[in-house]
Structure 1
Amino acid sequence: MFQPQMFVFWCFSMFTYEIETAKILAVFHYPGKSHYMGGVALMKILAERGHEVTMVSPIGESEKIDNYRDVVLPEVFEVAEQFMKNYFEYNMHPYFQIYGISKKCFSLLNTTLSHPKLQNLLKSEKFDLVILQQIYSDALTYIPYYLDIPFAFYSPMGASYLTNPSVGNPSYPSFIPDMFLDYSSEMSFFERLDNTMIFIVNSIIRYFFILPNHDRIVKGNFPNAPDISVYNTKASIVLLNTDLSVNDPAPKVPAMIDIGGFHIKPPGKLPRDIEDIMSSSRYGVIYFSMGSNLKGVDMPPHIIDIIMNVFAKLNQTILWKWENDELVGKPDNVVIRKWFPQNDVLAHKKMKLFITHAGLHSIQETVYHGVPCLTIPVYTDQLSNAKRAVGGGYAELIHLNDISEEKLYTLIDKLLCNSNYSAAAKKRSAIMRDRPLSPADTAAYWVNYTIRHNGADHLKVASLKMTWYQYLLLDVIAFIVTTIFVVVFVTKKLLSFLYSFAKSKRKEKDE
């Protein structure tokens, strides 16, 4: 039925809402599949809103997407395969992770910047904005400098030592744990000591190892490039894959925008076979997936045996993301697939529990759908994600090396039988959904904002123009300490002189 008031509102909206389209160049050099999937989801959001998006990455999409163009650099993926092996064997100590990972990224960055496809793109086309994946990517910030256009970072892991320097965001090791440590924001003295030490180590490695090498990579491909300090802190905004429902509150400068959950869409229709399995499950469903980088088939054989023995004791139906066609010894209540539509599976009414590696996307999806989870973190930020989930009351944590039949069964039974976990998950879900704009709309708005305001320099804090010793107030502290020393020294000398003078006068008088 025709509604005049709605027609008037529609006409008014058409005239007052500014349709903004731009040419956006996205460069995602890191070939981790989960990171790439997040980047593609973000670029699709922008393409759906009319922007012309060019995505430079090592992977690429198989389907055609409107307003979206792939520029695939397969050589980057081939380089990455040299060190992206079995992540279950990842055992690097947190103090060495930033050094080890950043060193491996040097070859990825050099292969990306030197690639003829990217070089030709930069020379032949004009863009309005660059969006860079922020994973040890300071060298890539030369691209927007070369094109003389603003740029935004997309951080798949939230604010950290990787993101903070680019926009002058403060870091407080007293209550913000390093993303590679499984500490909560309420740390003990020795945890704060450990967190402070790793902060210092990371800062030293960044300024004396990472940045000089990135500078060499840039100048090796662009000989006329200035020093990296000229352009690596010019980001207009940083789109953070974080949300208050999942991440702890922390100070953020205005240029940092939370868009966590942007990749989550309303649940779609499940494939018929999966829908039938889930709907017919009398006791509900448990979903088990270790994400896209970790593969279940790579788990140690004895761990796989333990997991199957525990699953065999459960009444629930288990959907297990398993990368092989067969699983020898699979219990009857376990259904394996190489892929499940995770978002749609978690949204199903029969879903009872998610067993996950605690990747950030998985944690966001389980919170969005209000499903409690058992976390089995393996490496990098999965440890801190799991710790926060436990602190949020909707999860339990077990380390891979600590798994035994008794421990695993006890935790699963606890999560299934104690309604407090489900209640906490639903509470967090309500928080995630209670936003003035959806995460996707928030991302699109701030990208448009940056383009409208030609880089939005007014969002940048003054600390970006300060030297490190000015930022840390070391010059002020040195001045105060020197002044106190001079005052004390002069006072002492003056008092000593007055005492000697008075003593000599008294002596003269006695004589």
Structure 2
Amino acid sequence: MKVLVVGFIFIVEILSVFQCANILFFAPSPSKSHQVMFQPVFKELSLRGHNVTAIVCSPLKDPNLTNLTEIDMEVLYKIIYEEENEAREAMKKYILQKPNFLTVFLKDIVVKNIFHRFGKYILNMPQMQTFLKEDHKFDVVIVEWLYPTFAALAAKYRNPSHPVLAPDHDLPMPRDLSLKERLMSGLYAVYVRVYYHLVVLPREDALARKHLGQDIPYLGDIEKNISLLLLNRNPVFHRVMPVVPAIIELGYTNTNKSVEKMDPELKDFMDKSKNGVVYFSFGSNIQLLELPEDKLNAIFNTFKNIKYDILLKINKDTLDNKPKNVLTRKWVPQSAILKHKNTKLFITQGGLQSCDETIINQVPVVVIPFSADQTTNADTLAKYGMGKYLGYKDITEEILTEYINEVITKPSYKKNAMMLSKLYTDQPTDGLEKAIWWIEYVLRHKGASHLRYPSSDLPLYQYLMLDVLLLIVLALSVLVLVLIITVKLFICIGRKMFEKKTKKE
């Protein structure tokens, strides 16, 4: 039987077991924040003696990693950022507006259609076609899980979830949900499951069969053959929720054990800053210059009128009318910047990797979330008291200036950042070590079906105990019916006895 393991947001399929395994690592997402999490894993697996073939968008290109073979998919960055204008415009429409009951469902359909087109493009790429036609044998297949198309290589574990305790990460929800938000989460939980099984799975199953062969199982059946789930989450930062033994929370993962170096100009800028540096970055997927003009003006006017230097990450080499205190970069060694003694504040969109690094380095924040888990992340950081939450629609020069000055000058924000960092990183082992250990655990034991949660194999009516409830309802109904009949019978007998007695008198 094939055994499957899910790791981070990727999936591991065990095909057979060897001490030094042949591993396929497939991570096609053209997103730096995703790739930076995968690189340490396939690098570490190769250093442990496993033969790793990595099909990735950000290859390491390290000649010293002799056990690592990389198939370069870097061209996907160009496709998604230069050629997929229609997709970017569609996504921007939903990212740059506050979600409501209608847009969360419309956005989900748009995103799933984009992923479907993206999956078709990947499978038709020459290097992918060549790879699929070659004769490869792997002991483990690790697949980034964005969409079920590639569940033909591995599949996702059914993690039991609750729409209030653990809302879908695509919903921009705060940490504490109002009645309206609980209602939205409940409706969305039903919708995504219905749409997934009626539309997504059949469509992606047909695409997978076209490229990987008609003899593969149905994707929905593959999903039932999973044994372990590795989650890139930390219970200190994320919502605490009950998990079964087959779910491993990795917690703190030190992906940057060696600090990235700054170029001379950037280092000079950081070292010589008199009042300190505000680092501003919206990550790799949200482009600052795509914001509406009024929001851009508010941000740049704030830069001009504060006393701090600004390190700004944007997708342009130069910026017209740039304030004197601003240094722009298309790429920034973020870990090195956040470790620098002169970094006073991080203005971020609240992506998971950015939150991870700012917590580890104890840098206070102003978070401006846009989509997915960013809203919850921003709300969590604000509730821990290490920063301020600023809604995108609420950006003005006055508010942004006030938040920057408050977070930098008020000692409690730095103190709370230090406190959260201690909680966040206090664990028996690094998350990367834990991920590697569990991947090799499944190899050693030919899977982890012994940890499998029994409800994964139960029909929905049994999981919800509908049959038990029905039996109880029937039993109570019969009991009530018997009581009613008995009472009526006693009433009838009593009435007749009363009538008989009355006639005698």
Q: TM-score, normalising length from structure 1?
A: 0.84
CA contact (8 A) 1:106 1:214 kept: yes
Change (3 A) 1:42 1:453: same
- The equivalent residue for 1:241 is 232
How many angstroms apart in 1 are the aligned matches of 2:78 and 2:115?
A: 13
The partner residue of 2:447 within 450, 455, 471 is: 455
- Output the amino acid matched with 2:71: V
CA-CA distance at 1:370 after TM superposition: 0.4
CA-CA distance at 1:333 after TM superposition: 0.8
CA-CA distance at 1:230 after TM superposition: 2.1
The partner residue of 2:392 within 400, 421, 425 is: 400
Asked whether 1:132 is paired with 2:143, we answer yes
Q: Which moved more, 1:378-387 or 1:345-354?
A: 378-387
The partner residue of 2:328 within 336, 350, 356 is: 336
CA contact (8 A) 1:175 1:185 kept: no
Q: Which 4+ residue blocks in structure 1 deviate beyond 6 angstroms?
A: 74-79
Asked whether 1:228 is paired with 2:256, we answer no
Asked whether 1:21 is paired with 2:20, we answer yes
Q: Which moved more, 1:23-32 or 1:425-434?
A: 23-32
Look up the SS of the partner of 2:88 in the other structure. Answer: coil
How many angstroms apart in 1 are the aligned matches of 2:499 and 2:262?
A: 105
How many angstroms apart in 2 are the aligned matches of 1:57 and 1:270?
A: 25
Q: Which moved more, 1:484-493 or 1:74-83?
A: 74-83
Change (3 A) 1:504 1:224: farther
Change (3 A) 1:185 1:327: closer
CA contact (8 A) 1:311 1:318 kept: yes
- The equivalent residue for 1:177 is 167
- The equivalent residue for 2:479 is 487
Structure 1: segments with no counterpart, 5+ residues: 1-18, 145-150, 152-165
Identity among equivalent pairs (%)? 29
CA contact (8 A) 1:167 1:253 kept: no
Look up the SS of the partner of 1:55 in the other structure. Answer: strand
Mapping for residues 133-152 of structure 1, pairs under 5 Å: 133-137=144-148, 139-144=149-154
- Output the amino acid matched with 1:90: Y
Q: Which moved more, 1:83-92 or 1:298-307?
A: 83-92
How many angstroms apart in 1 are the aligned matches of 2:500 and 2:206?
A: 75
The partner residue of 1:101 within 96, 111, 120 is: 111
The partner residue of 1:215 within 191, 205, 208 is: 205
Look up the SS of the partner of 2:49 in the other structure. Answer: coil
How many angstroms apart in 1 are the aligned matches of 2:216 and 2:494?
A: 69
Mapping for residues 329-478 of structure 1, pairs under 5 Å: 329-478=321-470
Change (3 A) 1:74 1:292: closer
Q: Deviation digits for residues 218-245 of structure 1, max 9, x if unmatched?
A: 3444323333332113233223222234
- The equivalent residue for 1:252 is 243
Look up the SS of the partner of 1:127 in the other structure. Answer: coil
Q: TM-score, normalising length from structure 2?
A: 0.85
CA-CA distance at 1:412 after TM superposition: 0.7
- Output the amino acid matched with 1:140: F
Q: Deviation digits for residues 80-110 of structure 1, max 9, x if unmatched?
A: 5535425544347223333332232223334
- The equivalent residue for 1:497 is 489
Look up the SS of the partner of 1:167 in the other structure. Answer: coil
Q: Deviation digits for residues 177-203 of structure 1, max 9, x if unmatched?
A: 332344344333333233222222223
Look up the SS of the partner of 2:54 in the other structure. Answer: strand
CA contact (8 A) 2:157 2:223 kept: no
Change (3 A) 1:326 1:75: closer
Q: Which moved more, 1:202-211 or 1:118-127?
A: 118-127
CA contact (8 A) 2:234 2:424 kept: yes
CA contact (8 A) 1:287 1:320 kept: yes
Look up the SS of the partner of 1:124 in the other structure. Answer: coil
CA contact (8 A) 1:177 1:185 kept: no
- Output the amino acid matched with 2:147: Y
- Output the amino acid matched with 2:441: Y
CA contact (8 A) 1:28 1:56 kept: yes
How many angstroms apart in 2 are the aligned matches of 1:113 and 1:466?
A: 34
CA contact (8 A) 1:30 1:108 kept: no
CA contact (8 A) 2:143 2:153 kept: no
CA contact (8 A) 1:346 1:369 kept: yes
Asked whether 1:318 is paired with 2:295, we answer no
- The equivalent residue for 2:88 is 85
CA RMSD across the alignment: 2.7
CA-CA distance at 1:423 after TM superposition: 1.1
How many angstroms apart in 2 are the aligned matches of 1:212 and 1:481?
A: 37
